[in-house]
Amino acid sequence: MSPKVVFEDDHVLVLGKPAGMVVTPAETQKEETLIDWLRENYDSSEYHSKEAQDRMGVVHRLDKETSGLLIIGKTDQAFANLQKQFKERKVKKEYIALVHGHVMEAGRVEGGIGRNPRNREKFAVLLEGKEAVTEYEPLKRLQFTGDRLQEIFSDFNKIQMRKLSTIHYNLFTLLSCHPLTGRTHQIRVHLKYVGHPIVADEKYVGRKMYRLDKRWCPRMFLHAEKLGFYHPDGGKWMEVESKLPEDLREVLNKLTSELAN
Which pLDDT tens digit goes with each residue over 29-85? 678 899 999 999 998 888 889 999 999 999 999 999 999 999 999 999 999 999 999
Is residue 116 very low, low, confident or very high in pLDDT (cuts 50, 70, 90)? very high
What's the one-letter identity of residue 65? E
pTM score, two decimals?
0.93
Which phi and psi (to 5°) does residue 184 adopt? -60, 130
Residue 247 is among the residues annotated as catalytic for this protein: no
Going from the C-alpha of 245 to that of each of 52, 75, 186, 249, the distances in angstroms are 29, 30, 22, 6
**Interatomic CA distance for residues 74 and 54, integer angstroms:** 13
What's the one-letter identity of residue 110? E
Equal fold, 1-88 vs 92-261: yes
Which residue in 115, 120, 100, 110 sits closest to 206, CA to CA?
100
What's the one-letter identity of residue 85? Q
Q: Name the DSSP class of 175.
A: E
Parse the chain into domains and list their residue ranges. Answer: 1-88, 92-261
Q: Name the DSSP class of 10.
A: S
pLDDT at 261 over 60: no
Catalytic residue among 63, 76, 155, 201: 63
Return the CATH fold of 92-261: Pseudouridine synthase (3.30.2350)
The alpha-helical segments, DSSP class H, found in 113-245 are 146-152, 158-166, 186-193, 207-213
pLDDT of residue 45: 85
Going from the C-alpha of 172 to that of each of 17, 65, 134, 252, the distances in angstroms are 25, 20, 19, 10
Average pLDDT value over all residues in the chain: 94
Pairing of strands 67-73, 222-230: parallel
CATH 3.40.50.1970 fits 1-88, yes or no: no
